[in-house]
Amino acid sequence: MTVEDRGSGRFVPEPLDALVEEFRGFLGGERGLASETVRCYGSHARAFLAWLPQPTDVALAELSAGLVTGYVVEYCRGRNTESAKAMVTALRSLLRFLHVTGRAPGPLTGAVPAVANWRLAGLPRRLSAGQVEALIDGCDTGTAVGVRDRALLVMLARLGLRTAEAAAVRLEDVDWRSGQILIRGKGNRVERLPLPQTVGEALAEYATTTRPRCASRSVFLTVRGRPPRPLTAMAVRQIVARACERAGLPRLGAHRLRHTLASDLLRAGNSLPQIGQVLRHRSQLSTAIYAKVDTARLRGVARPWPGRG
């Protein structure tokens, strides 16, 4: 939002907007975070600052541990664990920023409660092969949007990409001659993956038939509006949500396709380190959760239940 500077006739940012933009610049410039992370942290920062009971500059000077804890408790009521974890991580980052820039009276990160979420406590949920095909086949390939969405869904399902990774793919990242694709992942990591034939065919159909001709080098572009713009990670999530609706499935995140690929690779006999390479995990702990769905191998290490004496 903006307010008018009546003396000059110009519009200037309100303090809250200016502060959020400075925070985003700090995240991207000083900490080198990915654009999607900057967007997420910025949204949570705006929500917290807008929640404060006084104008931003006054509230920050009087910011206390009680206010911080109260916001976390209020936000987490009725929300799932992943949403709560994302919020508290962003809030801690904002509080550190406010402290080092002299806006907050002291370091308040310790006032942010931890979210109860034990590592490896849950089971990764997968889709059946029929459900994955229903997501893909529900796209109307008689339209430009349908051809684009089908290529995107095939890529998510066959390569297990995160939404931000799919949105970041550029034309030069696809090496048709060697059959590889370059992926820009979390932590600014850049890695090459084999390009499956199904993914290559879907990308080629989209790129040569319905992708708008424009200066942008991003593979996936908006269809409506001029000039075409690169899809964002949020737009990718919305495309997956619409595909779920067409397929008669509950609204699922793109990460469900990633879990499905990992589970299928495990069932095909691939080891956990191999699956971790495909998913581009930085830590083996991130891959270890898939050991819990490998029931055949788990039976081999399970001890027999003691019989009655």
Residues noted as catalytic:
162, 186, 255, 258, 281, 290
Which amino acid appears at position 300 of this protein? G
Contact call for residues 20 and 12 (beta carbons, < 8 A): no
Sequence-separated (6 or more) residues with CB below 8 Å from residue 215: 227
Q: Are the CB atoms for 279 and 266 separated by under 8 Å?
A: no
CB 83 within 8 A of CB 89: no
Distance CA 109, CA 105 (A): 12
Question: Helices then strands (H, E): number in the chain?
Answer: 14, 5
CB contact at 8 A, 220 and 163: no
Instruction: Give CA–CA dist 216/50, Å, rounded.
Output: 35
